Amino acid sequence: MQQPLTHGVIQNLVNLIRPWHLGDQGKFRVGADADGGYVLPDCAQRTRLVFSIGIGDEVSFDARMAALGARVLQFDHTIAGTTLQHPGVRYFKQGWGPQDNAEESLLSLNSMMALADWDGATCPILKFDTEGAEWDSLIATQSSDLARFEILTGEFHDFQNLVNQDYFEKVYAVFTKLFSTHKVVHLHANNAGGFVMVGGMPFPRLLELTYLRNDAAIFTSHSTEPIPGPLDRPNLPQFPDLYLRVF
pLDDT at 4: 73
207 vs 219: CA distance, rounded Å: 22
State the Cα–Cα distance between residues 174 and 42, nearest whole angstrom.
25
pTM of this prediction? 0.96
Domain boundaries of the chain, sorted by first residue: 7-222
Cα separation, 23 vs 186, in Å, equals 14
pLDDT digit string, tens, across residues 20-64: 999 999 999 999 999 999 999 999 999 999 999 999 999 999 999
Query: How far is Cα 64 from Cα 84, in angstroms, rounded to an integer?
Result: 11
**β-sheet bridge partners, residue 27:** 41
Range 157-175 average pLDDT: 96
Residues 6 or more apart whose CB falls under 8 angstroms from that of 79 comprise 55, 56, 57, 93
pLDDT of residue 6: 84
Instruction: Assign a CATH topology to domain 7-222.
Output: Rossmann fold (3.40.50)
For residue 151, which of 18, 23, 42, 21 has the smallest C-alpha distance?
Answer: 42
Give 184-229 pLDDT, tens digit per residue: 999 999 999 999 999 888 999 999 999 999 999 999 899 999 999 9
Among residues 9, 37, 38, the alpha carbon closest in space to that of 212 is found at 38
